[in-house]
Chain A
C-alpha cells in the first residue's frame, strides 16, 4: 500500500529555507509573498501497517524537536485519513483551513506547489530512505520524494507559475504541480522492454538521407563522416545496427576525439597538421622533463611527487549541462573529473578540487536574459551548490578557483572542474590482457545522460533544454565516495589490471577505449539497471554517473567481488577482453554489434579547416587624468572579477583531509585573497603541492596569443608568490571556444595554442594534460552569441618544504614594500579600462626571458627566508595587489609611484597604478633583510616603493609627489567585499 508522508518545520521554529526562498522570489520582482512553508514529502510503497508507518515517521523521517509530520493513506494529500505526529498537537502542516483563518491580508491566497523529480532522474535520498526503513526492521518496495511549497500572498496564478519555474523548480528535471491534489506521480506502470534489433538502411542512402539519419539519431556526424561509415558497412555488405552507429558517433565526437585540435588546419597560409601535437604536446616532448611520469595518454597527467608517490591532475569542462541544469551540471562535472582521478593509472586518491566558473553578470536585467536561458544568478547559485554538495560530500577539499563574469557567458556559462590525485608510484601503469573480465562497479545504469558526449560537441539553442534534457543528470556523491573507498582497497590488493571511468559516452567509451588493442565482448543484459525498459542501445551509451570499468584477471573474480560487496558497492561482470580486435555486443545472446576496433578508433576521416587571424582594432580609450585615483581603485576592487569570492569559498570545505597549508582566504581576519593554495597530501611530511590557475578572457578579445601567454604567466606568478619554483611546475590547458567551423574563431584558437607553446617553452614548464570544449555558442533565432575565447591554465607545483610557504597579507608595520618586474603601458583589456567601458589594444605581453629570471630570483629570495609576504600583480595591477595585501594584513601602506621601474611610454599615474603588465610581484621585506634581498634581485628591474605603516591608511604618492590615493583600508576592503555579499 502507498503512503504519503509530509514532514515540515514546526510552526514555532523559523523555516530558514522558506525565508531564503522568499527573498529569492523578491529578487525576481514578486514582492507580495507573505509566507512560504515547505514540506519534505515521502511517497512510500510497501507492506506496512499503521504502526510501522508511525515508527518510520517518528524514528527516521522526523526530527522530534523541530519538525512535525502527517501521513496519508494513498499518494494524495486530499485523503481524509490523516495521522499526525510526533508532536501531540493537531498538525495539518500549514493546514488549508487553519491558514485561511489567519490571513494577514484580505486578498491573500494560498498556492500549493509540489515539485517532483521526473521519472528516471537520480534522487539519492530514495535509496537512503529504503536503507533507513530496513534498519528499523521493516521493508519498503519503493520510495519517491517531492517537495511541497505552501505559498501565501497576494498572487495571481501566473505569478505562482513564475515562482515555480524561476525559483522552485527546473522543468528540465522536475515536474511542477500547482494546486493539484490529485496525483500526477500516480505510479506509471513500468514498460517492459521488448527486444527488437534495429537496423538502419544506409548502404543505399543518398547524402541527404545520410544527413537526416545523423540528425534524427542525434549522432552529430557530418556528411564526410557518414560517408566513411557507409563505406565501411559496404565492405561488410550489411547495414549497421543503431548501436553500431551510436558507438561510432560517440567515439568520433569532438568531445572524445578532439578532431579540431588533431585535424589539419590551414592558418594564414601555414598548414598545421595536428595543432595539439605541434604546440601543447610539443613543449612537453621538447622539454622532456624526467619527472613527467605520464602525459596526454591517461585520464590525467602524472608527475613525480616523492619517493613513494606521484601526483596526477586533470581539469574538465561541463559547460552545456550546466547551462540548462546548473546544479546537476556542476554536480556531475565535479563527479566526472574525480572519476578521471580514480581512473588514472590503477586509481589515484582524490586530494584536491579546483573550480573555475564563467557567468553572465549577476545583476543582468531579466529582460536581457534570452529565451531558453536561465538568469546568471540562478546559474551561479546552482553551480556553486552543485560543486559544494559533491565536493564536500566526497570529502575532497576545494581550495583553488576563480570566477569570471562577462555578458557573453549569459546563455553559455563555463564550468571547469579540476581534481588532483595522489597515487603510489607502482600503480601508475595499466594494461588489459586477453581473457581479462570486464567488471562494472558503482551506480546503476538508467536512461540518464543519453547523448552527453555528442550534445557537448554542438552549440546550444533555445531548444536545447527540450531536445537534450536527457543529457542532464544529478550526481550521487555518496555512491562515488563508496566506490572510491573500496576501489583503492582493491587497487592495493592488486586485484585488477586496468581501469577507466564511465564518463561521456558511457560504457561505449570506457570499454571501447580499454579494448582498443584487444577487442571486447559485452553482454548488455548483464548491466544492472535502475529500472526496466532500457533498450540495448540505451544501456550501451547511457552516461549514468558513478560507474567505473575494471579489467580483472579471471583468477581474481571471486575475491574482487567480495571486496566490493563488503561495503555495499555493486560490482557486475559484463563481458571480457577477447583478443580478436573486434567489438561485439550481445543482448540475451543476440549479436547487436560487431565492428573492428581499428575502424572505430582510426576510421574517422580527418577534417581540414581554414583558420584566419586579423588583429582587431578597438577604440583607443580617452580617459582624463585625475589627481585622486581612490574612487577608481574602489571601483576596480568592487568589479565582478576582482571582488571577494568569500561567499563562495566558505561554502566549500577547503580543509577536509587535514592537508591545508595555505588556504584560499588569508590574513589577519582570514579573509584576504590568497594566490595559489598549498596542501600537504601526506600528513606528517612537509612535502607539498601548490595549485593555481590563470585566465583572462578580456585579453582574448584583443589577441588570444597574448591571452594564453598571460594566463600561463599569471598561473606561474601565483605559484612563485607562495614559495614554489619553476623547476617543478606542470601545466594544464582547457580551451573553451566558440564555433571553430568559423575561420576567424579557429584562427583565434591557433593563436592561443601558439601562445601556449612559446610561453611554456620559455618558462620550461611542460603541459601534462588538457581538454577542449568547442562550439560554445548560443543560437537564438538567427542571432548567435559566442563566448569570448576562454583559455584556462591550471598549474601544479611540487614544493619540497611547505613550512617555507608565503601568504599574501602584509605582516608587520615598518616592513619595506618592493615591486619586482617592469611596468609597461599595457592597459589593453585591463580592469581599469573595463570600469571606464573600454577595451583598448595595448594588451599585456610576456617576456619569458626576463620573466623567468624574475621568478627564479624571487624563488631564491623566498628560499633564503627574505620574503615576509608576496602577491602578484594581475587584474587591477599594482594598485589592486598592494591594496589587497594591505587590507588583508590589517596595516596601511605608503607607496611612491616615482619609485616604480617603468618602461618607456609610461607617463601617467593611472598607467603605473592599473597597468596589468605580466611578471610583476609585490614583496614585503623586513628592514634588516633589505641589503640581502637587493643583492639577490640586483639584475632584474625592481623598486623599493614604500613601506607598511602602523595606521589604517593606504596612501599612494603620484610621480610628482602628490597624494593620488589616500583611503582607509576598511573602506577599500568594504568596496572589495560588498559586491558578492549575497
Chain B
C-alpha cells in the first residue's frame, strides 16, 4: 500500500489518481519513476476521505483509461465528481506552484471539469462555468490506436520546450479537440496555450491519419495560463522504452523512448524551480 510520500525527500512525489476504469496507471507510474519521481497510485475514494493527502505531492496525474466506462461521455463523470468534490483542492494545488498532467482520459476530465484550458481572463468558478472547449467523437467515429507525431508550438508549458517533436501513440474514440468557435481557438493560440499539434513526419500540419481525430487546429494538447497544467490526448507513457517504438526493429534501439521527456521535465521543474525557489 501507500508509502507515506513525505518520507522520501530527495525525489519529487507524484500521485496518480485512479478510479473505476482507470487503466494506464501502471505504465504511467513506471514512466514517472524512470524520470526520477516517487509515485503513489491512490484511489479517489481515499483522497476524498482525506483531502489533505494531496499536500504530500508535487505532481498530480490523471492517467488514461475509461473512467466510469466513459458512460455519458468520455471523462464526464469523473470530471463531475472532481468539480463537485475536489475542485478547491486542485486549484490550490496549482496555485501552490505544483503540476497537474492529464493524459487521454485525464485530459478529457480536465477539459470537461473546466481546469483546462482556462483561457487567461476567464476566472474559473463553479457557477460561472461555461464550457468553451471539449473533446468530441473522432471524425472517424471510432476508437483508433495509432502512432502520431506531435510538435510543441509553445514555450508556456513546463512539460516541454517549443519545437520539440515527439513520436508517441494515441488510442481513443473521443479525442477531437474542439473550441466553441474560431475566436476561442485564436485566443488559446495567442495566449500560447496550444502546447501540441498533430504534424506529419516533417513537422508540418497535416490531416488524417496524421491527425487521427480531426481536431480543430490540429490540437493534441493544451496547457493552462500558468503552464503548469498540461492535458494531451496521446500517451507519452507508452513511449519511454526503446522497444515500444513501432519500428525499433528497422531503426534500431535508442537509449529510451521520446515520451519520457514530459515526465523528466516535470520532475526537473519541481527540483529546480519549485524547490529552489522556496530555498
Contact = CB atoms under 8 A, between A and B. Distances in A.
Contact of B243 (A13, A478, A680): A680
A contact residues, range: 35 or more
Given A670-B246, A680-B243, 8 more contacts: A63-B112, A135-B81, A652-B143, A655-B235, A656-B238, A658-B241, A811-B250, A869-B249
B72 interface: yes
B113 to A, nearest CB: 10
A751 interface: no
A655 B21 CA distance: 16
Nearest to A654: B145
A132 B66 contact: no
A263 interface: no
Contacts of B23: 393-395, 481, 656
A124 interface: yes
Interface string B216-244: 00000000000000000001011011011
Contacts of B244: 655, 658, 660-661
B147 interface: yes
B143 A651 contact: yes
Interface string A468-492: 0000000011100110010000000
Nearest to A809: B250
A684 B30 contact: yes
Interface stretch (A199-207, A600-608, A613-621, A798-806): A798-806
Given A65-B178, A566-B43, A650 B144 contact: yes
B30 A658 contact: yes
B137 interface: yes
Nearest to B249: A807
B47 interface: no
A290 to B, nearest CB: 29
Interface stretch (B8-16, B89-97, B126-134, B270-278): B126-134
Nearest to A678: B243
A658 B80 contact: no
B20 A125 contact: no
Contact of A568 (B20, B85, B178): B20
A340 B228 CA distance: 43
A388 B143 contact: yes
B207 interface: no
Contacts of A395: 22-24, 65-66
Interface residues of B, number: 62
A124 B69 contact: yes
A490 to B, nearest CB: 12
B180 A658 contact: no
A663 interface: yes
A136 B84 contact: yes
B202 interface: no
B35 interface: no
A645 to B, nearest CB: 13
Interface string B243-267: 1101101100100000000000000
B54 interface: no
Contacts of A905: none
Interface in A385-436: 388, 392-395
- List the 10 closest A-B pairs by CB distance, nearest first: A395-B23, A658-B27, A64-B131, A128-B71, A807-B249, A478-B69, A65-B134, A16-B141, A125-B71, A393-B66
B77 A662 contact: no
A802 B137 CA distance: 36
A131 interface: yes
Contacts of B138: 16
B77 A131 contact: yes
Interface in B149-187: 169, 171, 178, 180
Interface of A: 13, 16-17, 19-20, 59-61, 63-66, 124-125, 128-129, 131-132, 135-137, 388, 392-395, 476-478, 481-482, 485, 566-568, 649-658, 660-663, 665-668, 670, 680, 683-684, 686, 802-803, 805-807, 809, 811, 869, 889
Given A663-B246, A807-B250, A63 B131 contact: yes
Contacts of A666: 246-247, 249
Contacts of A684: 30
Given A17-B141, A654-B145, A61 B72 contact: yes
A653 B70 CA distance: 15
A128 B68 contact: yes
A683 B141 contact: no
A545 to B, nearest CB: 14
Contacts of A17: 137, 141
Contact of B139 (A16, A392, A482, A655): A16
Contacts of A686: 243
Given A132-B77, A653-B143, A481 B136 contact: no
A85 B244 CA distance: 46
Contacts of A809: 249-250
Contacts of B71: 124-125, 128-129
B72 A129 contact: yes
B45 A566 contact: yes
A652 B20 CA distance: 20
Contacts of A124: 69, 71
Nearest to B18: A485
B223 to A, nearest CB: 19
B175 to A, nearest CB: 13
B80 A63 contact: no
